[in-house]
Structure 1
Amino acid sequence: MATGFFWDEKCFWHAGGNYAFTLPIGGHVQPLAAGGLPENPETKRRLKNLMDVTGISGDLDMRSAEVASREALLRVHPESYLDEFKRLSDAGGGELGRRTPFASGGYEIAALSAGLAVAAVEAVLTADLQNAYALSRPPGHHCLPDFPNGFCLLANIAIAIEAAQSNGLAQRVVVLDWDVHHGNGTEGIYYERDDVLTISLHQEGNYPLDTGAITDRGKGAGAGYNINLPLHAGGGHSAYLHAMDTIVLPRIEAFNPDIIIVACGFDASAVDPLSRMLATADTFRQMTLRVKKAAETVCDGRLVLVHEGGYSEVYVPFCGHATLEALSGSAITTPDPLGPALEIRQPSPRFDAFLRAEIDFLAQQL
């Protein structure tokens, strides 16, 4: 079975709406930029372009998808929220929450972004594909049921999980979030449930400022099924792999899920403007290889990566390409143009030992 890649050009046309002053965007007028927002289409478009240039696209099953249905959205978001989102979208755009502006047609694009995740998860669970990557945009892991924030307008992964569970395709799901920002939306949606294990690897005290503590472990039936791993700024390749090996992978295997879904942000990279971490393209390759092996062990390889953050137009394409190489097993590779420079900028042995000791300390708190 192949690796699927779900994408749609229309997702690149999501824009900052009232933050954009260049053109009255909407309809057939493609936005010139993201309206000043760090979350812009070029990081995603340049990933797709690099895939086409190297030829790895030919090794993947390239697909689009239908927009997520109203029924699918209502399993996560209240009707009042969806109605207000649609009203503002039809009226030319606006902003519903914190840092979530959108232009005309934003509702439909967000529903398509969620639809890519829904289709990817369904295709893997029905054995149509072995694993898959959904290039969803706008992202979703910060979005709560009735409050969008951090560029996220709909909870893409949660919508995909609820669709799969309602259709009887899965019962137990792991969501591993390695975006550099805490996955507060996913956490909030599943905080009191024991059928979805949420694990968030994030830079401590980045965004949101008031969530992501290791002491937030879930509530009621969900107690113990929410794991936050707030990492010190400056953590690099070694620290991320140590966290994966000592905490993340054992927890995934113990939970024994039907599918693993990764909230795949590339903003932990060393050149990302919205973080202070030192991950490289190879970091994402190695994390993908590890979680892929875990999926082969516990759930017959069923694994879906859903795109979240990543704001370096230069480096996100190479982080994404490395991830897809690992996910698909393709022999097509591309050199990392920043690899040598970032390798010598990794934490010193002394600081790396401190970072690893801190991760070991986190493990003791769980």
Structure 2
Amino acid sequence: MTTGFFMDERCFWHAGGNYAFTMPVGGLVQPLAAGGLPENPETKRRLRNLMEVTGLMAELDVRSASPATRDDLLRVHPAAYLDDFKRLSDAGGGELGLRTPFAAGGFEIAALSAGLSIAAVEAVAKGDLDNAYALSRPPGHHALPDFPNGFCLLANIAIAIEAAKAKGLVRRVAVLDWDVHHGNGTEAIFYDRDDVLTISLHQEGNYPLDTGALADRGDGAGAGYNINLPMHAGSGHTAYLHALDRVVLPALDAYQPDMIIVACGFDASIVDPLARMQATAETFAEMTQRIKAVAQKLCGGKLVLVHEGGYSEAYVPFCGHATIAALADSDITAPDPHAKNFRIRQPSPAFDAFLRASIDDMAQELNL
């Protein structure tokens, strides 16, 4: 099996602009930032470093990519938005939407982040790679076509899907978003279409506050092709696996996609500062194994994971390593130093039964 790993050093250089004091230190060195956003380069950089130390990186096909072109971006984002983004980026940075600050050069870095997603999807669709992981930064699943949102400036996954469709590489794509926050941008872009199935597992009432309802199923041709599973705060390992088995896998089986793309956030972890869920590195590994198996069954194994959120510098590396090792069928492990303690802190049997019953209730409402 050949698993691709798409990354670029420059994506670590995305900075918080007006939310953090960023000191330029030259065009060939990462800017220095004092304080700032939870979305910072260290979670991603420490994941990469861990993979290098354990030897997992050496088992992957490591690649970079070209930035998304203007034509790539225009398939999702209107010209006026792209022009405003580029103008402000060239002027030193700023903010165009909600919680989306960026520094000078932010446009080019965001285009590169989208380009990594495009390249990963294309390589898997063509059969050059069996599956792939794109370490895209800044993330993308909150970005609306004309309004950036929640650290997301360009809709990386949607841009990659449209690029692959334009080349005739895919027809029907399923997007599973297990980031702890609702994938409102991806949902909005494909809400009235039946050629992309969107599924979001997220903490109910987290971010955004006004999206992600179970009743939001799509419009027009897209009616029934959007699935939201707003999960209770405190959901842990067993509840997440039950959500996959009870809702996600049956929905994928019914849809029969050509490719599955996962919006892979690690912010459902038990120690994430922006959420209240109790997933562990083991949870993410087992979810990956389940999705990988269904991808093998439905679409020849064509599976791409695109990095989204996850804000614990201490724990994201272990969650990511477990996920990518599962994706690559690797025997290399990075033992979770918190595993024993996190197992003890999982929901009580009574609460876990309540969580699983609530998922069963939602599955019934979704006719799954």
Question: What TM-score, normalized by structure 2, do the two folds share?
Answer: 0.98
Instruction: Say whether the 8 Å CA contact 2:213–2:228 is kept in structure 1.
Output: yes
1:170 correspondence with 2:166: no
Alignment of 1:1-366 (within 5 A): 1-24=1-24, 27-33=27-33, 35-366=35-366
Instruction: Give the secondary structure class of the aligned counterpart of 1:263.
Output: strand
> What amino acid sits opposite 2:274 in the alignment?
L
Question: Shift in Å at residue 33 of structure 1?
Answer: 3.3
Structure 1 residues 125 and 168 mapped into 2: Cα distance closer, same or farther (>3 Å)? same
Q: Is the 8 A contact 2:182 2:200 kept in 1?
A: yes
Give the Å deviation of 1:19: 1.9
Q: Check whether the contact 1:17–1:35 (CA below 8 A) recurs between aligned residues.
A: no
Listed as ranges, the gaps of 5+ residues in structure 1 are none
Letter in 2 for 1:241: L
Work out whether residues 174 and 261 of structure 1, in 8 Å CA contact, stay in contact via their aligned partners in 2.
yes
Q: Which amino acid aligns with 1:45?
A: R
Distance 1:153 1:25, change over 3 A: farther
C-alpha distance 143-25 of structure 1, shift in aligned 2 (>3 A): farther
Letter in 1 for 2:6: F
Per-residue Cα deviation, 1:169-202 (whole angstroms, up to 9, x for no partner): 0000000000000000000000000000000000
- Please tell me the residue identity of whatever aligns with 1:94: G
Give the count of matched residue pairs: 366
Q: Secondary structure at the match of 1:33?
A: strand
SS in 2 for 1:117: helix
* Alpha-carbon shift at residue 28 of structure 1 (Å): 3.5
Distance 2:362 2:306 in 1: 26
Q: CA RMSD in A?
A: 1.0
Cα shift readout 1:5-25 (whole Å, capped 9, x = no counterpart): 000000000000112225246
Matched position secondary structure for 1:99: coil
Distance 1:330 1:34, change over 3 A: farther
Cα distance change of structure 1 residues 34 and 270 upon mapping to structure 2, 3 Å threshold? farther
Q: Deviations over 1:135-165 (max 9, x none)?
A: 0000000000000000000000000000000
Q: Secondary structure at the match of 1:260?
A: strand
Name the CA shift for 1:26/1:306 in 2 (closer, same or farther; >3 Å).
farther
Q: Is the 1:27–1:104 Cα contact (8 Å) retained in structure 2?
A: no
Separation in 1, partners of 2:162, 2:335: 38
Query: How far is the alpha carbon of 1:78 from its aligned partner?
Result: 0.2
The Cα shift of 1:31 comes to 2.4
* Residues 12, 30 of structure 2: 8 Å contact kept: no
Give secondary structure in 1 for the equivalent of 2:33: coil
Residue deviations 1:299-336, cap 9 Å, x none?
A: 00000000000000000000000001110001111100
Mapped contact 1:34–1:40 kept (Cα < 8 A)? no
| Secondary structure at the counterpart of residue 23 of structure 2 | coil
CA contact 1:285–1:323 (8 Å) conserved in 2: yes
Deviation at 1:29, TM superposition (A): 4.8
Q: 1:87 to 1:25 in 2, by over 3 A?
A: farther
Letter in 2 for 1:185: G
Report the secondary structure of 2:32's partner residue: coil
Q: Distance in 2 between matches of 1:354 and 1:189?
A: 33
- How many angstroms apart in 2 are the aligned matches of 1:23 and 1:126? 42
Tell me the alpha carbon deviations over residues 83-137 of structure 1, each in whole angstroms, 9 at most, x when there is no partner. Answer: 0000000000010000000000000000000000000000000000000000000
Mapped contact 1:144–1:189 kept (Cα < 8 A):
yes
Secondary structure of 1:235's counterpart equals coil
Distance 1:17 1:30, change over 3 A: same
Q: Contact 2:20/2:37 (CA < 8 Å) preserved in 1?
A: no
Q: Give, in angstroms, the shift of residue 35 of structure 1.
A: 4.6
Change (3 A) 1:295 1:87: same
Residue 34 of structure 1: how far off its partner (Å): 7.2
8 Å Cα contact 2:165/2:171 also seen in 1:
yes
Amino acid at match of 1:283: T
Over 3 Å counting, the alpha-carbon distance change for 1:34 and 1:8 in structure 2 is farther
- The SS at the match of 1:363 is helix
In the aligned structure 2, how far is the partner of 1:157 from the partner of 1:113?
Answer: 10
Q: Distance in 1 between matches of 2:107 and 2:291?
A: 32
Alignment-mate amino acid for residue 71 of structure 1: D
Deviation for aligned residue 1:257: 0.4
C-alpha contact (below 8 Å) 2:213/2:229 kept by paired residues? yes
Q: Would you say the 8 A contact 1:86–1:107 is kept in 2?
A: yes
Instruction: Work out the percentage of aligned pairs sharing the same amino acid.
Output: 76
